[in-house]
Structure 1
Amino acid sequence: MADRHNQSLTAIWISLISNVLLTVLKLVVGLLFASPVLVADGVHNAGDIIATVAALSSSMVSKKPADEDHPYGHGKAEVVASALVAIILVLAAFWVGVHSIGALLEPPHGGESWLALGAAALSLIWKQILYVYTIGIGRRNRSKSVLATAYDHLADVYASAAAVLGIGLGVLGERMGWDWAAYGDPVAGIIVALLVLKLAYGMAREAVDILMEKNVAADKLTEFESLIREVSDIKRVDRIRAREHGHYVTVDVRVGIPGSYTIQQGHDITRKIKQSIMDADPSVVEVLVHLNPWYEGES
């Protein structure tokens, strides 16, 4: 668990440093060469810094052990950060969309430079590498904060791709005399805004589901139930629920066992159920078992 935590923190720190460097690069080059799309992408990256700081803070908080005030742990801190990142992505999408629509209504801007194109291409490549790196760690460690950072990188990949397309068309249009090429950037920006909105919606919906303690996927519940039925002396599965707490899961089950069993026998069955589920799924950190009496002749 400690090793997975360190991997997650390292991934977020790398993301934070990268976002700071890319923000400075895009803003400086965009302002020097009067590239509106690169400046807009730089402002978008500045928002990513806030999102990454939130992910870093939540990751640190979520790994704190349970205490008197938070008996179920602090795992949902990552979910709060994920929701915050989703909000930042929505704002970024509106920023890109409004900027792009405004550019469509203005006369085309000229003077796109190869240096601006190179900065946008560098951002695209680096953000794609960061996305692949963070999404892998986030999925392996079930870290909502790292996954939120990964999806933030993916949104940047979309935005950088639009910048490369827009600046590239501008450079090519100037060389070839294509007046229409100047409008490639705002059109691509509008498409990117819609893609980022869709990404933000998926993140926000997942965060709300977890905060509202929605059940885990039905196939996961079926798997847990199968494991419970394999335990000897289980006569009935009355109820099974499971919910996510950020990077870990808690399971709540009610089962029927022979009513004549002693407390010790019931305790032993409870331990078997817990061990079976936790061995099968390392993300489960707690299994609450309630025993109901079962008598011969019942269904």
Structure 2
Amino acid sequence: MVAVRNHSGLLAIWISLVSNIILTVVKLAAGLLLASPVLLADGVHNAGDIIASGAALTSSLVSQKPADEDHPYGHGKAEVVASAFVAVILVLAAFWIGAQSVRSLFEPPGQESWLALWAAVLSLVWKQALYIYTIRVGHATKSKSVLATALDHLADVYASLAAVIGIGLGLLGHHFGWWWAAYGDPVAGIIVSLLVLKLAYEMGRDAVDILMEHNVAFEKISRYEDLISGQTEIKRIDRVRAREHGHYITVDVRVGIPGEYTIQQGHDISRELKKRIMEDDLDVVEVMVHLNPWYVDDTQRDN
């Protein structure tokens, strides 16, 4: 199952990388041939996506390496580092798109063409399909690098939509004599820059939370506590913590069991507890259990 999930994630990133290369070449070529500043800007933005996809691919390969002496908890956080890197690229792209759009407001509008419009539509449809595909694979594999790639595609969807609106308004404005329509592209670009900046913030915040050992969602912790409470030999829950390592989770548990139990009994309880949690949550790859002695008159937890 793990091998299939890893393969699906790598395939999604490879498809994204190849698609970004093709789209970058197409947009830059069309922008140069048609003298379309919108397509040129979108092509430059797509060039940044190649770097982001390359980082996601590299991190995904590293994250699948088994634990070793230097990295006893595995290499899963390599995906989180890549996610943070993609967030930085999106921030730069957002500011670049915004700056170009604001500058265009103070320049004479360019002449739009139908070929430029179709190129923008092709990019929009292609990127939307890639986003749907990668976001599904990302959620299925729990891969931070695939999810980051999906959000990068979503940012491109916004950018391509802005290009379609801008070029389309320019063509309509030329046909109907709407002078204001020529400035639809820079206005749409400013809106897109804000949307991309929002995506970058959310992605970066999640990456920082994981790198700073932020606890997993309260609902997951509550579920682990319910599983622990269902084990009759465990008399007290002292502490439950869990943290993400990219596409997997490690759980730390401190519980109290009767002080007169033997080491063998404690070992069996620990093994059963690990089995319960890992079978219930397939994202968990390690459960570290610390046993504290419990007596009938205990009133305080031993942390």
**TM-score (structure 2 length as normaliser):** 0.98
Q: Report the equivalent of 2:65.
A: 64
**Structure 2 equivalent of residue 232 of structure 1:** 232
Match of 1:83 in 2: 84
Look up the match of 1:157.
Answer: 157
Shift >6 Å, 4+ stretches: none
Query: For each residue in 1:149-173, what CA deviation from the matched residue of structure 2 results, as whole angstroms up to 9, or x when unmatched?
Result: 0000000000000000000111111
Partner of 1:97: 98
Deviation of 1:297 (Å) = 1.9
What letter corresponds to residue 157 of structure 1 in structure 2?
V
Q: What SS is found at the alignment partner of 1:290?
A: strand
Query: 1:213-270 CA deviation, whole Å, 9 max, x = no partner?
Result: 0000111100000001101211000000000000000000100000000000000000
Distance 2:175 2:20 in 1: 33
Letter of the 1:165 counterpart: I
- CA distances 1:103-129 after superposition (whole Å, capped 9, x unpaired): 0011222x2111100000000001000
CA distance in structure 2 between the partners assigned to 1:175 and 1:33 by the alignment = 19
Structure-to-structure mapping, 1:261-280, within 5 angstroms: 261-280=261-280
Distance 1:270 1:215 in 2: 22
- Given residue 59 of structure 2, which amino acid in structure 1 is its aligned partner? S
Give, in whole Å, the separation in 1 of the partners of 2:137 and 2:230: 33
**Matched positions, count:** 298
SS of aligned partner of 1:260: coil
Identity of aligned residues (%): 71
Match of residue 18 from structure 1: 19
Q: Distance in 2 between matches of 1:47 and 1:108?
A: 26
Q: Which residue of 2 aligns with 1:28?
A: 29
Q: Equivalent residue for 2:124? A: 124
SS at match of 2:237: strand
Q: How is 1:192-207 mapped onto 2 (pairs within 5 angstroms)? A: 192-207=192-207
Residue 46 of structure 1 corresponds to 47
Aligned positions of 1:98-247 closer than 5 A = 98-109=99-110, 111-247=111-247
Measured after TM superposition, the shift of residue 144 of structure 1 is 0.3
Distance 2:226 2:240 in 1: 11
SS in 2 for 1:238: strand
| AA at the equivalent of 2:223 | E
Q: Which amino acid aligns with 1:220?
A: K
Alignment partners' CA distance in 2, 1:200 and 1:156: 12
After superposition, the CA RMSD in angstroms is 0.6
Residue type of the partner of 2:127?
K
Deviation at 1:200, TM superposition (A): 0.2
What corresponds to 1:293 in structure 2? 293
Deviation at 1:52, TM superposition (A): 0.0
2: CA distance between counterparts of 1:52 and 1:95? 19
1:3-37 per-position Cα deviation (integer Å, ceiling 9, x unaligned): 11111110000000100000011111111111111
Matched residues in 1 for 2:198 and 2:287: separation? 35
For 1:86, the aligned partner's letter is A
Q: Distance between the aligned counterparts of 2:39 and 2:165, measured in 1?
A: 11
Q: Unpaired segments of 5 or more residues in structure 2?
A: none
- Partners of 1:39 and 1:75 in 2: CA distance: 37
* Letter aligned with residue 131 of structure 1: Y
The 1-side partners of 2:272 and 2:298 are apart by 23
Output the CA distance in 1 between the equivalents of 2:187 and 2:175.
Answer: 20
Secondary structure of the corresponding residue to residue 206 of structure 1:
helix
TM-score (norm 1): 0.99
Deviation at 1:62, TM superposition (A): 0.1
Unmatched runs of 5 consecutive residues or more in structure 1? none
Cα shift at 1:138: 0.4
SS of aligned partner of 2:231 = coil
